[in-house]
């Protein structure tokens, strides 16, 4: 009898992080990374989630948060645990400065388990987690299912400082052409395309190969596919939970896309992410609150 591969709705690959959020000079130690914000949001959507991550063996105790949320975890030991200090002013939670706190090293092809998954999400936080050869391998193994948050290829550490890197046209093509679903934010998409119009910039990235492109920004979330361009605004009452916005938006969109069309998934993602931004930490509310927000704030917005 052939042993069946484990089956998951979403698999998220990326560093688990021990971050610091500083707002107006006051610091808070928090957990972070796409595996954390996205994984827990996905679990509260009722999805079967597995994560693949790296961190110091001494920090494995923090992985209990995944077990408590019913999330399967493949964790590999490293010399450091990744982390970023996010520095905000409460007057403008959209603009932030970064300081590196640690880096857990690169994943290898051998780190990827033999699994079935609805989508395989590459969610790195720092350049160097995912090398091009691994991305190429994942594109072959998870053809049609590969999703990427591009920040992990253009945001990294240089001379002990966090900064964005320019990609050459060759590098941009090699990376973006491999993926089916691409997530970026306003800063990243402008850097990648030199285009200030978000829909036009998204179309430039879409032309490289992805089937669907998501762009998060201060006003909301944009979607570009072959058939549609669409936008839904955020409806949050506070931005205290700004950190993790992109991870939450991407995973909630993809989780919805398992069963729903793009426009419905974009609407769901906008509402869920709006609620997430009202508190520090991952989304952990019941889904009826998402549906209530959709009815209250989005019912007059044309899809």
By DSSP bridging, strand 220-224 and strand 229-233 are antiparallel
Residue 224: CB partners within 8 Å, gap ≥ 6?
Answer: 199, 202, 203, 205, 206, 212, 213, 215
Q: Give per-residue pLDDT as tens, 89-121.
A: 776 777 778 888 999 999 999 999 999 999 999
> Is residue 211 over pLDDT 80?
yes
Share of the chain above pLDDT 90, in %: 82
- Residues 6+ away with beta carbon under 8 Å from 66: 35, 39, 40, 51, 72, 73
User: What are the CA-CA distances from residue 94 to residues 11, 87, 103, 139, 274 (Å)?
Assistant: 28, 11, 24, 32, 14
pLDDT digits (tens, 9 = 90+) for 233-264: 999 999 989 989 999 999 999 999 999 999 99
Mean residue pLDDT of the chain comes to 93
Q: For the ranges 18-27, 49-58, 111-120, 260-269, which has the lowest average pLDDT?
A: 18-27
294 has pLDDT over 90: yes
What CATH number does residue 65 fall under?
A: 3.40.1190.20
303 occurs within a structural domain: no
If one counts every other C-beta atom within 10 angstroms of the C-beta of residue 7, the result is 11
257, with CB counted inside 10 A (0-12, 13-18, 19+), is buried
Domain range holding 126? 7-298
Exposed e or buried b per residue across 191-211, where buried means at least 16 C-beta atoms within 10 angstroms of its C-beta? bbbeeeebbebbebbbebebe
Cα dist from 51 to 60, 119, 124, 256, whole Å? 14, 12, 12, 18
Q: Is the pLDDT of residue 181 over 90?
A: yes
Gap between the Cα atoms of 238 and 276, Å rounded: 10
- Residue 2 domain-assigned (yes or no): no
Q: What is the pTM of this model?
A: 0.94
Number of domains within the chain: 1
Residue 278: inside a domain: yes
Question: How far is residue 86's CA from residue 144's CA, in Å, rounded to a whole number?
Answer: 34
Report the run of H or E that residue 220 belongs to, with start and end. strand 220-224
Residue 62 within any structural domain of the chain: yes
Question: If 0-12 CB within 10 Å is exposed, 13-18 middle and 19+ buried, where does residue 122 land?
Answer: buried
pLDDT at res. 3: 61
């Amino acid at each position: 009898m052939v042993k069946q591969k484990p089956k998951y709705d979403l698999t998220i690959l990326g560093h688990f992080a021990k971050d610091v959020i500083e707002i107006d000079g006051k610091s808070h130690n928090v957990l972070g990374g796409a595996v954390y914000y996205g994984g827990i949001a996905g679990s509260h959507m009722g999805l079967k989630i597995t994560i693949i991550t790296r961190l110091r063996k001494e920090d494995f105790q923090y992985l209990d948060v995944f077990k408590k949320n019913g999330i399967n975890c493949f964790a590999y030991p490293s010399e450091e645990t990744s982390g970023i200090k996010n520095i905000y002013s409460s007057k403008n939670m959209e603009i932030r400065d970064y300081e590196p706190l640690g880096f857990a090293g690169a994943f290898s092809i051998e780190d990827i388990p033999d699994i079935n998954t609805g989508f395989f999400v590459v969610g790195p936080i720092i350049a160097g987690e995912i090398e091009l050869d691994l991305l190429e391998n994942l594109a072959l193994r998870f053809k049609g299912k590969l999703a990427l948050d591009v920040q992990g290829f253009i945001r990294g550490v240089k001379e002990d400082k966090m900064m964005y890197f320019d990609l050459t046209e060759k590098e941009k093509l090699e990376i973006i052409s491999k993926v089916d679903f691409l997530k970026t934010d306003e800063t990243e998409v402008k850097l990648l395309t030199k285009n200030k119009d978000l829909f036009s910039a998204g179309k430039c990235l879409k032309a490289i190969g992805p089937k669907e492109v998501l762009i998060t920004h201060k006003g909301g979330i944009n979607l570009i596919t072959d058939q549609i361009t669409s936008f839904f605004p955020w409806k949050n009452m506070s931005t205290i939970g700004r950190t993790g916005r992109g991870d939450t938006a991407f995973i909630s969109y993809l989780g919805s896309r398992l069963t729903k069309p793009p426009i419905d998934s974009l609407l769901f993602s906008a509402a869920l992410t709006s609620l997430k931004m009202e508190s520090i930490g991952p989304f952990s509310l019941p889904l009826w609150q998402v549906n209530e927000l959709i009815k209250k704030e989005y019912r007059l917005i044309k899809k």
